[in-house]
Structure 1
């Protein structure tokens, strides 16, 4: 008998995401789901049991069950962003591997599975369904079984009987009685698993139960009998919801879903390399497993509306310039107005300490020139002296410059030679990000996308453990020249594409804001911020001692020692030893994440201690240890600000991330206290936009009451509280109003608001409805924006930065999340527009003064300056920020001074 394997695709993806640790590649892109999926395909091919294979997906459009019962799946938690980022890639992989996706608009994957299973059984096939979903138990029969890929066990009628005490054909009626919390299927409230099992064993099905109501009390208590009688309608509604459709297709051609003879993963092996699944790639290529793993750049294909593939030809000629006369002859021949693309090679990616090894340039889109200055290997050929290199770079920097991630190259030139660009600058990476902020903006992936050109991989010429200085001049020339020519060609290609799509205004945003902002960020990163090393050393010791005390207390509570940092051991203690009720299941047992522990907070005193231990452990290892490692002779931290690090337009920070230090906790305050002024004569100055997203909401929706509140400088949260709760209750309800005000901007629904305020979803829903009744203009605006996002496929900020969404291939779950992200992007991205405009104007005003911009934390800018300048400077900066753009409501800033970061605000 041949076998058809059907995968419950999203069910598997979700399990895979949660079962594996939160893996990320070198670029910070999440990969847990993708790795789990690749391993599944590898195992399916290896076992050779499947003659045919189909991936069942959620259908697009409105879920048909929601038409019957609007609350269906209404209690589902918000999908993590890391998971959503991986879903489109995994679905694309299915297509690229030549495997079949099956879905039906309005229906769930389970319905597709049921309908296909029904046909396969008629064709005398054995059906194996890869899923953990109990809803599919109803399909089990002598030829159909489920397979759990985690435990690698088959689930047959025997397992169904053992677990639930009923046969698979009775499972629909069983679920109609007990309901399903995960899908918000009501069932009959008060009937649990044991009672339902007893009823099904006695009566067989729902129809027989209601046909024999007079006999109920022989089986169940009078109270349960009354519940059954009273809730007949809900029971039959639940039956409709849990019954899977088996008639969505009349027939099916199995030849279109034959399992390939070769491993399907071979079709995506390059992408597996780029997501750094090296062991898998080695197995696929038959390479020895002992070969050292190589790091590859992640390539995340865009999913936006502009992602149609466009191919142009690319070729280049590389030239080694190690003769000074020839070098300056070429540079002197270039007209002063000619744009030059520039790229440098270094012995490290740490810009503060890296040494330049060489640089490349291009000015004619064809010829790439490489100038070596510090290659270091036995027998190395003639190189250009550092003095001549400096003069050459000064000449290049007098021209308009093009680069890809040009900020890196500018910092290296500045730190090695004290050189800064003297003309305007352009960056193909930023232009690619403006074109589509969701796709990968790396030079390698962009060149493959637009030119079908595979760039020379860094790992192909630099041995593991070595750096670029060990590369031969011949190989270095080909590699570096390619980068310079590619940067120029890519830049011009993107300009061409933007113009062809009538997106010239994005070119203006690039030229007037994003490109000039590079110089601002270079300045900020060069400035750095000083840390009190003694403070952090002392804090590390205090926290280490505190961790030890808490750990000992927990071990005393439990009665034995165990590894608190092992989720598996902790789960065994909580759910085995202590007998607490487990929540979400993951690979190896129950989850012990923060949400689970919060739910158990009142169940045992040890839970609060475990949560405290985790918070301190994270604080010590995420912030204090890395900060001390990054400490240099100046005791300064030089973070790196990324312009292309978010889809919304916000700047992000890395190495270290100074934007995510906890704000409201005592621990966060202690960390901020360690960031100090570099001179006792100086002070920190913080200037931040007050309630910027709410002001943008008022500006966009033009609600007269919101606008009036901001124009008259009223407390907006109090005004909202008065509207929703009345004058007499407003003061005590202000914090709730604040959560609602900000929550709506971030796409928060009633479930999330309920979690935030620790109230019931019903109560949260009432609050939101009251808000919209009080501010109908806001409701209409948000609804209109959702319609626009759906119609256009993107959300747009104040200045026009776009974030694209792939609604065409989105399930209902993804669609809802995209709309939530879209609304958030409008406000968060517009706030980012304003702060960037301010940074640029402030930089121009103060670039030759002792006023130094050190850090940007979203809506806040932190400066260091002499104390005597603080009063006047704060007024000037406030005036710039308040007038940088004219909204329908006034912009307002908060100002504070302090000798350390914690004193600001």
Structure 2
């Protein structure tokens, strides 16, 4: 039987926009949606060449459902501009490819789909609906099914029952009870998805439910249904799709062409730089030499580094060069400043290079007796604007330079699609290696860079050095950055370049926004916390000194070792050159040996919080009139791809201890705002299920079951499962981090043999997981690297490695797959959220959690929008899930 594919045009495009990375072409035009659309057309033509295809589109007129309820879809957010731009192109593509696109004034695409479906079924044609809109579940029957093209998954009656607990025939009544907050469909307030399914399973339909209210056992449910009867039946009218809008349907207008429809839009594919699509068009009649290949245009990079420095010290000289900058220019750019502190730093000058050989320095803020000519700020600003209109702007840690331009010139680029960074390329190539310019130039060119300390003396800053001395130093940076970028570019595979261009380079914009926003600190709260901590530290110290009958420096490991292992004769560990260890591991092993140990551990924890967080955070907050803390996020700070932060570090504030959680209470939202948190739920375990394709794991996540409890059932049986859930949780996460029986026994405080048995039972219960992990270890040993979801690599040098080093490399390699893939996903989300231009402002990213500052009245709507983006940013074999929390302070978020 032939099949008609109906594409929910706007629904598919909307989903693609938020699910795909925010790609852009060389002109900065967004292309993520267009890429997804082109891939879909290619897939449908390949898989269903003899079938039919039609597009259903919302009309621009007044929706007839408004007459039923004026509030229907009244709160829908404004469509992002990047989505609007791509929609215009995509809809034109539908016409240019020759496909039929149906819309009817006053009706939604879902009504069009229902009407086409009815006509197609009359013609004895199956219908495949491509949409993620749950409203369309009501159309599922023997001849009609929904289809997820990314998973190639058909959604029929069985899948509907598995997901919602009711049949498609009951779906209208199900929605009438559940409602839909995003569309302002009221439903029955207080009855959720499980309650609705239970009612329909008992009474079959909405009419029967209301005809048998007295038969419902729960008094609360009876009252809720009675109070919302009008809403329920109004909701039913809103969610019921019209299927009578077409009198007939001509299938001949929907036939799939013999040749790929994409051949009709090749020029447009080239215009939007969809090179990966163009390369797959095997029967492309256009000369393949004309298809855009990698956009390199870098010329031959010399093996040895050479450059010529030039001074531009007048407006006329700079304006002359400015005239030669075009939209095709590739330029390296670097700033010189008075300090590394973004908030305090003043720009002194900048350097640039257009060919990698000739490099220019432009002084604008040198300040010493007898200083010579310098370029005016007005001319410098005009030049900077022109620079960022060039084809590519290359920097080394360009985030810093962009922040300097923002704080000094109030300048932000119109778009970030032309931003390139040699530091990020070096990190993507070797994530465990140093990424500073001096190191990389020595590594790749055997060139020793001029050192900052050699030209800027102690107690000086760059503004105080002679311009003639600054020229060579600054020019060298620009030329080095240019040559280094293309040197490393040649070393990278296509997949890594895609990660650079689609994820890491655009991510700079997100980080700048976060760093310049900061997060507010409750200074009074922290001052109280400081006083309490000082008092408690004093009390603990006195208690310890009373036990030992001796005063000593509690922060001195050597003095503490003497007290513990000589005065108190506690069992010491191995002695090193510096004496006996008093590490946390050693102290925990002695926890019950003497009452002094718990007090020392408490002292250490509190002293660390006081010295590392409480006191420094107070000092940081005092520097800002609004008491906001500004951290610096390091994009290359980890080998797995996760972010790290410094000055201050806001990612390692403890959350497992009561004192650590109290510190989080001191981070607050500004007036009339709340902090909003979205946290990916068990993302690394979901990735394990995705990669391993273990049936039991997939089933647990697809059913939204408690994965740790399901694991406990598999290992220990139903009866012990609840009591053993914590053990199952430790094993689930431990395997991702390469945990063996020794580490598990230490973590759970159980015997080695028990730990070994637990892991063996786990692998017997999830054999596919064991096979996957073993295969990955073999891959890492053979290839010398592991790969993330997007193809980011973590490299390992097994040559001459000892056995313990190989074992460590394998643990790190497995860990990198999951942590790195989680980093890929959250960066994709953050990029998409940056482009979405939300009212909520992203402030922090802590592992799998994003923290926003949001106007109080928009928390629910913004949270729902962010959740939608994050959960649909990519497609795994299991759903991504986010928890949403809000509160006045960080401590209230979980």
Calculate the TM-score normalised by the size of structure 2: 0.65
Matched residue SS, 2:305: coil
Which whole-Å CA distance do the structure 2 matches of 1:311 and 1:396 have between them? 25
CA offsets 1:482-534 (integer angstroms, 9 cap, x no match): 11111111111111222xxxx11211111111100101100110111010111
**1:508-523 alignment, distance < 5 Å:** 508-523=498-513
Matched residue SS, 1:822: helix
Q: Please say if 1:580 is aligned against 2:580.
A: no
Q: CA deviation at 1:382?
A: 1.6
Which whole-Å CA distance do the structure 2 matches of 1:418 and 1:585 have between them? 58
Q: CA deviation at 1:398?
A: 2.2
Q: Which of residues 432, 441, 447 is equivalent to 1:438?
A: 432
Which whole-Å CA distance do the structure 2 matches of 1:739 and 1:465 have between them? 52
Which whole-Å CA distance do the structure 2 matches of 1:497 and 1:552 have between them? 61
| Corresponding residue for residue 842 of structure 1 | 833
**1:619-658 alignment, distance < 5 Å:** 619-631=609-621, 632-658=624-650
Contact 1:311 1:449 in 2 (8 A): no
Matched residue SS, 2:724: helix
Contact 2:537 2:607 in 1 (8 A): yes
Q: CA deviation at 1:586?
A: 2.1
Which whole-Å CA distance do the structure 2 matches of 1:345 and 1:437 have between them? 27
Q: Please say if 1:449 is aligned against 2:443.
A: yes
Q: Please say if 1:529 is aligned against 2:523.
A: no
Q: Please say if 1:822 is aligned against 2:813.
A: yes
| Corresponding residue for residue 462 of structure 1 | 456
| Corresponding residue for residue 877 of structure 1 | 866
Q: CA deviation at 1:535?
A: 1.1
Which whole-Å CA distance do the structure 2 matches of 1:831 and 1:321 have between them? 46
| Corresponding residue for residue 494 of structure 1 | 488
Matched residue SS, 2:656: coil
Matched residue SS, 1:710: helix
Which whole-Å CA distance do the structure 1 matches of 2:882 and 2:327 have between them? 43
Q: How many residues align?
A: 589
Q: CA deviation at 1:392?
A: 2.0
| Corresponding residue for residue 759 of structure 2 | 768
**1:698-777 alignment, distance < 5 Å:** 698-777=689-768
| Corresponding residue for residue 891 of structure 2 | 902
Q: CA deviation at 1:588?
A: 3.3
CA offsets 1:535-590 (integer angstroms, 9 cap, x no match): 11111111011100110110011111111111111111111111111113122321
Contact 2:325 2:387 in 1 (8 A): no
Matched residue SS, 2:316: helix
Q: Which of residues 853, 865, 883 is equivalent to 1:864?
A: 853
Q: Please say if 1:855 is aligned against 2:844.
A: yes
Q: Which of residues 659, 662, 682 is equivalent to 1:667?
A: 659
Contact 2:617 2:629 in 1 (8 A): yes
CA offsets 1:847-901 (integer angstroms, 9 cap, x no match): xx43210000111101111111111111111111111111011111110011100
| Corresponding residue for residue 892 of structure 1 | 881
Which whole-Å CA distance do the structure 1 matches of 2:489 and 2:863 have between them? 39
Which whole-Å CA distance do the structure 2 matches of 1:485 and 1:703 have between them? 51
Which whole-Å CA distance do the structure 1 matches of 2:579 and 2:682 have between them? 43
Q: CA deviation at 1:397?
A: 2.1
Q: CA deviation at 1:431?
A: 0.7
Q: CA deviation at 1:746?
A: 0.6
Contact 2:325 2:386 in 1 (8 A): no
| Corresponding residue for residue 471 of structure 2 | 477
Contact 1:312 1:452 in 2 (8 A): no
Which whole-Å CA distance do the structure 2 matches of 1:418 and 1:745 have between them? 45
CA offsets 1:761-795 (integer angstroms, 9 cap, x no match): 11111111110111111111101100000000001
Q: Please say if 1:781 is aligned against 2:772.
A: yes
**1:342-491 alignment, distance < 5 Å:** 342-399=333-390, 400-423=392-415, 424-491=418-485
Q: CA deviation at 1:438?
A: 1.4
4+ residue runs over 4 A deviation:
none
| Corresponding residue for residue 163 of structure 1 | none
Contact 2:428 2:793 in 1 (8 A): yes
CA offsets 1:364-398 (integer angstroms, 9 cap, x no match): 21111111111122211122222322222222222
Q: CA deviation at 1:449?
A: 1.3
Which whole-Å CA distance do the structure 1 matches of 2:536 and 2:604 have between them? 12
CA offsets 1:808-853 (integer angstroms, 9 cap, x no match): 121001000000000000000000000000000111002xx43210
Q: CA deviation at 1:311?
A: 8.3
Which whole-Å CA distance do the structure 1 matches of 2:353 and 2:826 have between them? 34
Which whole-Å CA distance do the structure 2 matches of 1:440 and 1:543 have between them? 38
CA offsets 1:423-473 (integer angstroms, 9 cap, x no match): 520001001111111111111111111111111111110101211111111
Contact 1:583 1:591 in 2 (8 A): yes
**1:100-249 alignment, distance < 5 Å:** none
| Corresponding residue for residue 298 of structure 1 | none
Matched residue SS, 2:799: helix
Which whole-Å CA distance do the structure 1 matches of 2:323 and 2:620 have between them? 41
CA offsets 1:405-437 (integer angstroms, 9 cap, x no match): 000000000011110123520001001111111
| Corresponding residue for residue 544 of structure 2 | 554
Q: CA deviation at 1:798?
A: 0.4
Which whole-Å CA distance do the structure 1 matches of 2:803 and 2:464 have between them? 53
Which whole-Å CA distance do the structure 2 matches of 1:774 and 1:478 have between them? 65
Matched residue SS, 1:615: helix
Contact 2:839 2:862 in 1 (8 A): no
Q: CA deviation at 1:347?
A: 0.6
* Structure 2 spans left out of the alignment, 5+ residues: 1-300
CA offsets 1:709-758 (integer angstroms, 9 cap, x no match): 00000000000001111111111110010000000001111111111111
Matched residue SS, 1:808: coil
Which whole-Å CA distance do the structure 2 matches of 1:771 and 1:448 have between them? 49
Which whole-Å CA distance do the structure 1 matches of 2:583 and 2:726 have between them? 27
Contact 1:429 1:442 in 2 (8 A): yes
Which whole-Å CA distance do the structure 2 matches of 1:321 and 1:633 have between them? 38
Which whole-Å CA distance do the structure 2 matches of 1:634 and 1:689 have between them? 31
Contact 1:750 1:765 in 2 (8 A): yes
Which whole-Å CA distance do the structure 2 matches of 1:572 and 1:435 have between them? 48
Which whole-Å CA distance do the structure 1 matches of 2:526 and 2:383 have between them? 43
| Corresponding residue for residue 571 of structure 1 | 561
